[in-house]
A and B are shown apart, each in its own frame.
Chain A
């Protein structure tokens, strides 16, 4: 424990160097602006910021992207509460009580509760992140390839079973992502797979190209089809934040705890992310909260629950990223990309080889939460004014940044064409209700999943039962299969209930 604190202290020193602190502040401000603008999502914002980190050192690059991720879970609440415009899907639950409070003339109080919730959720998750990271990494060091494959299988299974409006579509999306990851020259045999004579495809398809295309360009195409709109801003002049009193905070302490716990747990699960954390936490508060009957009428609990969970999910999602090298969300996948671009592979060994980078990242979360709240307290009024910026101009810049980001990665125009292709594919996925997250996580985790599967097969003479018979991988595989089947059981139970009710 002492070692952890010493390394964390060194991380704080690292964060307060001028360059790193500047990266933190810039990341926070850009993340806040991205969250406010309805045309930009949190993941899109982090994707677009990545090319700007190419020439940076690894620590400021990671700090910048982490800060964007953190503040991206907070600022969208302002527009939900003030204008009934959720900046991000994360902020939809804030419409129900946050906006209702604003309509009762308590907008300042609602903004105060949001700020305090982001602070509390973020801080609790940051502490848990620091406490859990090293023990998890130590356990992960004992893993062999069957365990790694089992964890990846669990991650991919949970992505499929958690999100998406159709389980089959989510599966197809995941398989498509895993297939994209096979393009290029195979490591073991040197065989060209799906390269079709295109030289650049021999190096494989970079997952950043898929992410930039599917999340960035695909989203712009979707908005283009729906037509761009701008939000008329009223009452901007009256915006201010009033923090709640200690007595009020103590009366809602269980909501803070429930929200933080939900956020951390959901953050740990691949594919779930801040949006699910926010909705789930609101749902839990509606079931178990002291004032569950009043939810939706404009009470602080309806703000605390989603906001603490959304910000707490950041700390939760960072744990599997740094300890296992497995990103739990779109934003952490891009942070993983930044690590890889700088020649660093996150995973259990990173705590032995580059712990100063990891602890600088951890420290930046603590400092980032404080700075974010200070900016939030004083600059809400100024920041919500970016809503006046026409969405079509934002979208035009998004496309330009997508193209630039793809080109800058390898200085090759083929990558840019691939971005356009994946942009169209991303649009079609959205249009036909195929979720994008399984596709992207499939591309990211595909090479690791294939190599751990093939290595296991070589080591254990093609005996696939080894995944189920080893003491750690067996239970993980079983949980993963149950997770995959759970939506089917849930639907069967619902149908049975409906049938009984109709009789």
Chain B
């Protein structure tokens, strides 16, 4: 019976292996007209996927059957780690506290921002996003938050739309009116 630690260790490999298996199936069903004596467009991806599956199986078997815990690392990576350890582990400082809720909040906020950017327009979506991100990160000087959100967004909008000629999303009505007004004020056509 495998220990929970071992099972936890194989989860990423099992997931990657399963995904590779599905993609292998997808690659096997590519539509094309085969030419005699010429490798098809499925050969390269299928070869790569077979290697991914083999690597995952190797890790799973080694972990479950042999309980292997130490990996063969890259040569220079090991040299780097050894020299860092020799000098009091300056690189590997004290263990860092994990804040999963902060991370999930940041990811959700970013996904919401990308969803909102086409609906609200670049300016109307970016200002609250920057403010919310900074506040979520624990910064509480509201005046600074407001300033960096509004000024930073306006500067980027001006640079990308006026200097680099990138047409940033203006959003849907009625939010588009805000962007159009700002564009008019900044002389962006």
A residues in contact (CB < 8 Å) with B: 51-52, 54-55, 89, 92-93, 95-96, 160-172, 175-176, 178-179, 182, 186, 188-194, 217, 220-221, 224-228, 272, 275-276, 279-280, 282-283, 286, 296, 390, 392-393, 395-397, 399-401, 403-404, 407-408, 411, 413, 416-417, 420, 423-424, 427, 432, 434-435, 450, 453-454, 457-458, 461-462, 486-488, 490-491
Contacts and interface: CB of A to CB of B under 8 A. Distances in A.
A403 B87 contact: no
Given A176-B52, A454-B44, A55 B73 contact: no
Contact of B12 (A176, A393, A432): A432
A328 B44 CA distance: 23
A450 B46 CA distance: 12
Interface in B66-100: 71-84, 86-87, 90-91, 96-100
26 contacts: A52-B159, A55-B163, A164-B73, A167-B73, A167-B74, A172-B16, A172-B52, A176-B52, A179-B52, A182-B45, A194-B26, A194-B27, A221-B106, A221-B107, A226-B97, A279-B80, A393-B139, A396-B133, A397-B130, A397-B148, A399-B110, A400-B153, A404-B160, A420-B111, A453-B44, A487-B72
A420 B90 contact: no
Contacts of A407: 166, 168-169
B55 interface: yes
Nearest to B153: A400
Identify the interface centre among A163, A225, A411, A490: most chain B CB within 10 Å of its CB: A225
B153 to A, nearest CB: 8
Given A182-B48, A227-B138, 12 more contacts: A167-B71, A171-B51, A178-B48, A189-B41, A193-B30, A221-B103, A224-B103, A227-B99, A283-B83, A392-B139, A399-B110, A413-B169
A286 B164 contact: no
A415 to B, nearest CB: 10
Interface centre among A179, A286, A413, by most B CB within 10 Å? A179
B49 interface: yes
B117 interface: yes
A286 B83 contact: yes
Given A167-B74, A276-B76, A400 B91 contact: no
B56 A55 contact: no
A186 B46 CA distance: 14
Given A221-B106, A403-B114, A396 B74 contact: no
B12 to A, nearest CB: 5
A432 B71 CA distance: 13
Contact of B45 (A194, A217, A408, A457): A194
B72 A488 contact: yes
Interface in B26-45: 26-27, 30-33, 37-45
Contacts of B153: 400
B23 interface: yes
Contacts of B126: 400
B113 interface: yes
- Determine the main DSSP class of A at the interface with B: helix
B159 A96 contact: no
Contact of A224 (B16, B40, B106): B106
A161 B74 contact: yes
B188 interface: no
Contacts of B73: 164-167, 487
B48 A161 contact: no
Interface in B130-167: 130, 133-134, 137-139, 144, 148, 152-153, 156, 159-160, 163-167
A393 B75 contact: no
A52 B156 CA distance: 10
Contacts of A435: 74
Contact of B41 (A193, A275, A399, A403): A193
A457 B44 CA distance: 12
A166 B75 CA distance: 10
The 8 closest A-B pairs by CB, nearest first: A392-B137, A166-B71, A186-B41, A225-B103, A191-B32, A224-B106, A408-B166, A191-B41
B48 to A, nearest CB: 5
Contacts of B87: 95-96, 296
A360 to B, nearest CB: 22
Contacts of A171: 51, 55
A366 B118 CA distance: 45
Contacts of B81: 165
B80 to A, nearest CB: 4
B59 A168 contact: yes
A272 B51 CA distance: 24
A175 B48 contact: yes
A89 B167 CA distance: 37
Contact of B55 (A89, A168, A392, A396): A168
Contact of A225 (B100, B156, B167): B100
A158 to B, nearest CB: 10
A77 to B, nearest CB: 14
Contact of B74 (A170, A424, A458): A170
Nearest to A449: B44
B23 to A, nearest CB: 7
